[in-house]
Chain A
């Protein structure tokens, strides 16, 4: 009798643990996808590359990156480090990981900097041809 009750208890505990484990994995997966750092990084990097490719010197563009700024702030990334231009590669970094790179073909000198007030924008300045 004792052993029978014990079996029922263990079964129940295993059942509950498995349920919790299952739901936790699912929630973790959804939250990781939902945070969207990977998707947003890609979206911003490609957007900026296309903006640079389509512009001529001297142009100044403002890209609203409110979502990106909020995410970067939550992940401890400085506003100045979100977008970097190295040669002809745009790098957007919104989380602690490496960020997302995308290259552009327009051989221009580009400057990027955040312009947080009054809106969370990033300024992309095409200074001239290289």
Chain B
């Protein structure tokens, strides 16, 4: 009779034992998977760097590049960013994963840009509109910065640079 009781207790113990093992292992799997499974998201840093690179290309030490504007006249065509040593496509992706847009405003009128230049895939621009209220990690990341600069005739400009980086598959768990 005593032997029968022990046997039953062993069976119950083994069921509980496995239940505990499954719970513990499940917890460990979940923690490790969450920690290592999400890629590092560096798109915002990339967008900042792209913005800085474009800013340096447009204006250096507070003076606008003379290849872009002379005496208040924008000399370049809309492909000025081709001169900024940027390569926005790669064999890694089927389509370009970057987009950049620069708008130049006269300081007297901040509503209408006097000139603008663009480069990259404009398809990602819609991500910025969608994220105006709430950030969505799976969409392309947008960074907008503005700065002040003058041309050779001391005409004053506010330059707004918008940089968009997608690369979602490599930066977010999809």
B54 to chain A, nearest CB (A): 10
B172 to chain A, nearest CB (A): 13
B interface residues, Cβ below 8 angstroms from A: 7, 11, 14, 17-18, 21, 25, 28-29, 32, 36, 39-40, 42, 45-46, 49-50, 52-53, 85-88, 90-93, 97-98, 170
Q: Which of A11, A33, A54, A87 touches B90 (beta carbons < 8 Å)?
A: A87
Chain A residues with CB under 8 Å of B17's CB are 19
**Interface pair A38/B36, CB less than 8 Å apart:** yes
Chain A residues with CB under 8 Å of B90's CB are 87-89, 103
Chain B residues with CB under 8 Å of A30's CB are 28, 32
Q: A33-B36, A105-B87 are in contact. Are A22 and B42 (CB under 8 A)?
A: no
CA distance in complex: A53, B68 (Å): 23
23 A-B residue pairs with Cβ-Cβ distance under 8 Å, sorted by A, are A8-B7, A19-B17, A26-B28, A29-B29, A29-B32, A30-B28, A30-B32, A33-B32, A33-B36, A42-B40, A46-B40, A50-B45, A50-B46, A54-B49, A54-B52, A87-B90, A89-B91, A103-B92, A103-B93, A105-B50, A105-B86, A105-B87, A105-B98
Interface residue total, chain A, C-beta cutoff 8 A: 31
Q: Which of B53, B87, B170 touches A88 (beta carbons < 8 Å)?
A: B87
Residue pairs across A and B with CB atoms within 8 Å: the count is 68
Convert A1-35 into 0s and 1s, putting 1 for each residue whose CB lies closer than 8 angstroms to a CB of B.
Answer: 00000001001000100110010001001100100
**Interface pair B170/A53, CB less than 8 Å apart:** no
Chain B residues with CB under 8 Å of A38's CB are 36
CA distance in complex: A15, B88 (Å): 58
CA distance in complex: A49, B97 (Å): 15
CA distance in complex: A30, B32 (Å): 8
**Interface pair A42/B39, CB less than 8 Å apart:** yes
* Nearest 4 A/B pairs, CB to CB: A103-B90, A107-B87, A107-B85, A53-B49
